[in-house]
Copies of this chain bind each other. A is one copy, B any other.
Amino acid sequence: MASISRPGGSFYHEVLAVVLQVRRGCLHVLLWRRARPPFEGAWALPGGPLGADERLGTSLGRHLAAKVALTEIAQLEQLETRSDPDRDPRQREVATAYLALVAAGLDPCLPADTAWHPLDRLPAVAFDHGSIIASARDRLRAKLSYTNLGFALAPPVFTVAELRDLYAAALGHPVSATNLQRILVRRGVIAPTDEVAPPSAAGGRPATRYRFAERELRVTNPLAAFRPPSP
């Protein structure tokens, strides 16, 4: 490391990823099982130490690559940095957490110690990772409603019914398909394609397939509150 030329300590710095995906109608997080103390047997967020010349985002990508193919990550954004001196019983450690999203339908192959866990029935979780997961979930829920973040949870094309299930799983409450379609279309977030999905075996009208208009994060709500007296 670089030498220290002024007062102040130096800190072991770790990056962590909260990788979320909707699987079988439930929001899941990617965790790996610790094989040694502390928290032996408990599950932890993937991540690892920040490298000497890395930036946080790059470092996260490097560590994450050991768990899932990076091409499967549709969205990555910094969440928050935790600094409680006691968060790791072994030593002082600062950790920066990221939120990462994987589109539904993908099923990356995982190392043996790694698995998806539903957010509403988490196993014993190591360190302060439980509260970090909660932060990530809250951030996802908030952004789903006022941005086009859904693009990162959905496959390239989908029906409104499929999208409704995705949103319901992520938001944690039932969602109206009619409203979802109307609101997202009006906001320009999703647009119909010219293809339709074949009905289920039981029949039913074939559903139009939609796609997200953009795959870059964008704020879509009015949010222009208290607008100027206009021109």
Contacts and interface: CB of A to CB of B under 8 A. Distances in A.
B228 A51 contact: no
Contacts of A228: 173-176
Contact of A10 (B12, B173, B175): B12
Q: How many copies does the complex hold?
A: 2
A14 to B, nearest CB: 8
A137 to B, nearest CB: 15
B49 A7 contact: yes
A54 interface: yes
Contact of A9 (B5, B50, B146, B223): B50
Interface stretch (A68-76, A90-98, A199-207): A90-98
A226 B179 contact: yes
Given A12-B10, A146-B146, A226-B171, A52 B92 contact: yes
Interface stretch (A20-28, A78-86, A115-123, A151-159): A78-86
B50 A8 contact: yes
A9 B83 contact: no
A13 B175 contact: no
A225 B83 CA distance: 34
A224 interface: yes
A180 B2 CA distance: 52
Contacts of A223: 142, 145-146, 221
Contacts of A221: 146, 221, 223
Contacts of A4: 12, 91
27 contacts: A1-B9, A1-B10, A1-B92, A3-B91, A4-B91, A6-B49, A7-B49, A8-B48, A8-B51, A9-B51, A10-B10, A10-B11, A10-B12, A50-B94, A56-B81, A56-B94, A57-B83, A78-B81, A83-B96, A145-B223, A145-B226, A146-B221, A146-B223, A173-B228, A174-B229, A176-B226, A176-B227
